[in-house]
Structure 1
Amino acid sequence: ACAPFRRLHLCHHNLEKMGTEKIDNTHKLLAEVCYAAKEEGESLRSQHGQHKGTNNESQLCTVLARSFADIGDIVRGRDLFLGNTYESARRKQLDDKLKEIFKKIHDDVTRGNKGKTNGKVPENYYREDGPNYYKLREDWWEANRKDVWKAITCDAWGNTYFRATCGDNENTTIRTPSRCRCNDNQVPTYFDYVPQYLRWFEEWA
């Protein structure tokens, strides 16, 4: 799938520049990911008026949800974007950094003193997870996606998501009251669980 223009300029430069020697736990990684999300949200909001003028179906919350999902794919090692030779090398460098960071988190989690994860003892559940750490990365995203959504929507005042997705009962769900957020900080989108190539096809359409 051909990446949309929005993905070509995704604001994740701080992730590319982060030093793996300093990012040695989940909290520090979350801070870096949230900062990247906040920068991306501000960038999209500043450009939204111009692009909305030529595409009435484009709503800020939807655009934010697409970038939120792309950030999730980067974190989980699923990003399909290659770009030119230079961009491809940078993408590999970023994924290598994330692998190194998740190795540190993996080593910490599998020491056996962190309780249980997904109903399984971590040292057993994640034992064969290296060297890409896909299971751990998936669980990390699931645990932290609310905070990343709050970061990317930080500057989205007065905007509501296009569908009624707030709430656990499908018969009583409502639209986001403001800032593309539900009142209980529930993430109103599941774009991050839709395969990236399908999202891109839909975005181009």
Structure 2
Amino acid sequence: ACAPYRRLHVCDKNLENISDYNSTNAKHNLLVDVCMAAQFEGKSISGYYPKYEVQYPSSGSTFTMCTMLARSFADIGDIIRGKDLYSGNSKEKKKRDELEKNLKNIFAKIYEGLSRTSTSEKKSAKDHYKGDAPDYYQLREDWWYANRKIVWIAMTCGAGKHDKYFRKTCGTGPDATRTPNQCQCVTHDVPTYFDYVPQYLRWFEEWA
């Protein structure tokens, strides 16, 4: 699948420059850097959103601010979890390879800092991820799941008070509602599940 124009410019500068991690601070520093990248990306999207409104004045939910934020949020999730398909030209590919190597090293440090304590009912966190090296895909998947709510708040902090997600995903069943403002649920739950849709399918839909 060809990457959409928006993906070519996903702001991941903070992720590319991450350094000075150790087994003690890795999980905290990574969250800070990912949130900063998400916040910068959100501000970038809010900057070019008005031209979409002009180009597609009757596009309805397809080109809302929240939908674009959700797409980039999902791409950042793919980068963190080692699932990103985008490589770009040779220069861009080199940067992506360096970023992936950096992320593997960071998650190796996070693994080093995990507890070795176990009980009769539960094995230790370190044992749980034993054999996950060198890519640490399961640890990365679980890290994203545990922190996606905070990353979404960072991503949407610059959204407008009238920006709403196009589906009723705040809550469950018949009581589910749309986000009241800023693409955020009152409970701060993440309203989108784009990050659990395969990237190539999201891109096909975005091109459609």
Structure 1 length-normalised TM: 0.93
**Structure 2: distance between partners of 1:20 and 1:99:** 14
**Structure 1: distance between partners of 2:19 and 2:164:** 36
Amino acid at match of 1:189: T
Contact 1:161 1:175 in 2 (8 A): yes
| Residue 49 to residue 161, structure 1, CA distance change in 2 (3 Å) | same
Percent sequence identity over aligned pairs: 51
Contact 1:166 1:186 in 2 (8 A): yes
Q: Which residue does the alignment assign to 1:11?
A: 11
Cα deviation digits, residues 71-99 of structure 1 (max 9, x gap): 00000000000100000000000010000
Q: Which residue does the alignment assign to 2:49?
A: 48
**Structure 2: distance between partners of 1:50 and 1:81:** 25
Q: Which residue does the alignment assign to 1:202?
A: 205
**Structure 1: distance between partners of 2:181 and 2:96:** 34
Equivalent residues in 2 for 1:125-140, closer than 5 Å: 125-140=128-143
Equivalent residues in 2 for 1:35-184, closer than 5 Å: 35-55=36-56, 56=59, 57-109=62-114, 111-113=115-117, 120-158=123-161, 159-167=163-171, 169-184=172-187
**Structure 2: distance between partners of 1:81 and 1:135:** 21
Unaligned 5+ runs, structure 1: none
Contact 1:76 1:134 in 2 (8 A): yes
Amino acid at match of 1:103: A
RMSD after superposition: 1.5
The Cα of 1:120 is off from its aligned counterpart by 4.8
Amino acid at match of 2:84: D
Structure 2 length-normalised TM: 0.92
* Aligned residues between the structures: 200
Q: Which residue does the alignment assign to 1:189?
A: 192
Contact 2:31 2:147 in 1 (8 A): yes
After superposing on structure 2, the runs of 4+ consecutive aligned residues of structure 1 that deviate more than 3 Å are 20-24
Cα deviation digits, residues 90-134 of structure 1 (max 9, x gap): 00000100000000001111x414x79xx6532221010000000
Contact 2:77 2:195 in 1 (8 A): yes
Secondary structure of the structure 2 residue equivalent to 1:171: helix
**Structure 2: distance between partners of 1:120 and 1:52:** 52
Unaligned 5+ runs, structure 2: none
**Structure 1: distance between partners of 2:126 and 2:51:** 50
